[in-house]
A and B are shown apart, each in its own frame.
Chain A
Amino acid sequence: MKKFLLTTAIAGLTAGAAYADDVNIGIIFGFTGPLESITPTMADAAELAMSEVNASGLFTLGNIVPVRGDDGCIDSGLAVATAERLITSDHIQGIVGADCSGVTGAILQNAARPNGVVMISPSATSPALSTAEDDGLFFRTAPSDARQGQIAADILRDRGVNSIAITYTNNDYGAGLADAIKTAFEAAGGTVTMVASHEDGKADYSAEVAALAAAGGDVLVVAGYVDQGGRGIIRSALDLGAFDTFELTDGMIGQSLLDAMGSELQGSYGQLPGADNPGTQMFQDLAAAAGIDGTSAFAPESYDAAALMLLAMAAAGSTNSADYKDHVMDVANAPGEEIYPGQLAHALEVIAAGGDVDYVGASAVELIGPGESAGNYRELEIQGNEFTTVRFR
């Protein structure tokens, strides 16, 4: 027994020594749960940025090793346990994640803040995270839904719409977004006739549509999911002749909507995160070369989250969260040399030479306020059988 203990202790020591130069970075997404179809690509995109930095040979703080963990997207208990395990036993220096807003808040408060670890989320969009206590540790490359509310209100007002009715899917995403749209639209002088929720996956939506139609409005704003109740609402509204034009939030943009009722939706419009940014195409090429689908939702933001974290470490000259957390905003924003996907090696050269970088990346990163993306959106309009980009906002 003594011998066994001794050998394992020696093995442990040598193992520890062999990996002394490793910088572990946690990638915590919902690999199970509602987002399980897009999270593998998000993680691949984040790891793409890490391997790009490793391959450059210019990251002097060590060899970056991604460590994946599952947050289940809607399972706060699992999420916190995962983060805790990655922090204490894998000694991760930062977290790329989490994905869904609820678990992101849970990890931030129960694992990241107590242990002082930086988090950069690519996809948590809840407005509540803007005001959460974060000790300067939390950033996101995704915009808050408060921003989308403003964009939607702008689009509606620019199109001369004076009154709207809003229906939202009855969860945090839908309620937060509906609230943001209502606030912004009323501030812009418009009238909101009714805000009504709908449950996903129900049998019949004629009651909801009847109430919305009775309240009236030029346009029906649908803050929901394209393969869920949102589609049922639109189907029913068209059938009953209640509304002709719809404003669709990001969850409602999907080809399946057009395939189901294409021609009847002509002239409806909506918005989706996206920027008029050469980096988007560069990222897609880069991802395609690595066998990753760069157009997958939140893949660009994931790449950017990982890249930002590594550049901030390089700028701080330290992998310690307490040191590099203050450099995240610096590398993300002007002034400095603009950095696009695939140019991380160049960025490290600039930083090593004492220069300043302005990371633009795949999703036109510009961090504002409490460290969240300013939010660029594409305004889309349904023309023919596809969503056409009208302009960028």
Chain B
Amino acid sequence: MDILNALVLLGNFVLIPALSYGSQLALGALGITLIYGILRFSHFAHGDIMAFGTMVVVLVTWLLQGWGVSLGPLPTALLALPAGIVATALALLFIDRSVYRFYRRVKAQPIVIVMASLGVMFVLNGLVRFIIGPNDQNFADGARFLFTVRDFREATGLDEGLGLRVSQVITIITTLVVVSGLFWFLNRTRAGKSMRAYSDNEDLALLSGINPERVVTITWLIVAVLVTVAGTLYGLDKSFKPFTYFQLLLPMFAAAILGGMGNPVGAVVGAYIIALSEVGVTYAFRKFLQYLLPESWAPDGLVQLLSTDYKFAVSFVLLVVVLLIRPTGLFKGQTL
């Protein structure tokens, strides 16, 4: 019984939150790694294009809610998702045609394109705030919980409870679907294979008749799907606020670099590691140990490895360690 209590406790406070936060990061990190692998630059506007896509979803959700459309226990935002994806894809393609393509043509240094993406970031930043404002926006509806901590406690008779939110379940399932869809696309379809070829060796790909502009377009379309889905899931789980999305940029990049830039598997694994370590390293294990250890061994202190003040240092320490020991990241290089 005590072991069960300990596991439930850990599940509620560490595993499930880390799993859903990690899933949201994974979708974002995948986009970053794709852009890096194919277009060969670090896309700093990633957090803000995520905010842009989510903003469209929020606006369409409000419209649908105004019409009285609803999905029952599921959030209406899922219905609005396609509209958000289309808008984000158009925005990304427009930005690519008007900004990035020029630098690609003149074969500019990657750092120049990175700076251009920084500029795009500021423009999007302002645009999103101009349209929807800088404040928190709530657009989640439907049922919030699959079961709450209290329901769980009453049903099982355990001392500790485990809550599961609808948004967490949707997040984890959607991430699974999107990620496996992406891997299937990259490994099994012609377009996916041409993307990998282009990423591997640009000149060889050109020689074998692959149209680079087509590859670039497909990449942006995939990125549009990834960021809009990630942003919407995050917004449903917490809330939509442009500034928070901008801040997501750091953990997403940390995840992508940790896993190995340009490596999709690495991005996903890196995201879960970042999320789990942020929550796990700062967790106070006192109660957990109290369940497992005999009473006389039970600790008095909080058994917290690191104060939560240092939460954000965790991902960066991991990053530094990985870069020192394995500069290529956990999974080696561009195996897109």
Contacts and interface: CB of A to CB of B under 8 A. Distances in A.
B52 to A, nearest CB: 17
A241 B279 contact: no
B311 interface: yes
B283 A214 contact: yes
Nearest to B14: A210
A196 B308 contact: yes
A206 interface: yes
A239 interface: yes
Contacts, number: 100
Interface string A247-284: 00000000010011000000000000000000000000
Contacts of B308: 196-198, 207-208, 211
B244 interface: yes
Given A207-B311, A215-B302, A241-B161, A201 B241 contact: yes
B148 interface: yes
B136 A260 contact: yes
B244 A203 contact: yes
Contacts of A213: 13
Interface in B230-284: 234, 238-239, 241, 243-244, 247-248, 251, 275, 278-279, 282-284
A210 B279 contact: yes
Interface string A187-231: 000000010111101111011111101111000000000010001
Given A214-B286, A214-B302, A241-B150, A206 B135 contact: no
B101 interface: no
A196 B282 CA distance: 11
Nearest to B145: A239
B327 interface: no
Contacts of A216: 287
Contacts of B311: 207-208
Contacts of A240: 12-13, 17, 149, 163
Contact of B244 (A202, A236, A256): A202
Interface residues of B, number: 41
A197 B278 CA distance: 15
A227 B135 contact: yes
Interface residues of A, number: 32
Contacts of B288: 214
A170 interface: yes
A245 to B, nearest CB: 14
B136 A256 contact: yes
B138 interface: yes
A210 B244 CA distance: 20
B138 A260 contact: yes
B300 interface: no
Nearest to A260: B138
Nearest to B248: A203
B309 interface: yes
A378 interface: no
A243 B165 CA distance: 17
B282 A211 contact: yes
Among A214, A236, A260, max chain B CB count under 10 A is at A214
B187 interface: no
A227 B244 CA distance: 12
A199 B284 contact: no
B62 interface: no
Contacts of B138: 259-260
Interface string B135-156: 1101000000000111000000
Contacts of B103: none
A211 B17 CA distance: 13
A210 B302 CA distance: 12
Interface in B281-333: 282-288, 302, 304, 307-309, 311-312
Given A241-B148, A259-B138, A214 B13 contact: yes
A147 interface: no
B284 A206 contact: no
B21 interface: yes
Contacts of B238: 203-204, 232, 235
Given A207-B282, A210-B279, A232-B238, A194 B17 contact: no
A207 B278 contact: yes
A170 B12 contact: no
B175 to A, nearest CB: 15
B163 A196 contact: no
B284 to A, nearest CB: 4
B247 A201 contact: yes
A236 B307 CA distance: 18
Contacts of B248: 203
Contacts of A203: 21, 234, 238, 244, 247-248, 251
Contacts of A242: 13
A235 B165 CA distance: 12
Contacts of A201: 241, 243-244, 247
B228 to A, nearest CB: 17
A204 B275 CA distance: 10
13 contacts: A198-B308, A201-B241, A204-B21, A206-B13, A210-B13, A210-B284, A211-B302, A213-B13, A215-B302, A231-B136, A232-B238, A256-B136, A260-B239
Pick the 4 closest A-B CB pairs, nearest first: A241-B149, A214-B284, A206-B17, A210-B13
Given A203-B251, A214-B283, A241-B161, 18 more contacts: A194-B302, A197-B309, A203-B238, A203-B248, A204-B275, A206-B21, A209-B13, A210-B279, A211-B284, A214-B13, A214-B285, A214-B302, A215-B284, A227-B135, A235-B239, A236-B17, A239-B163, A260-B138
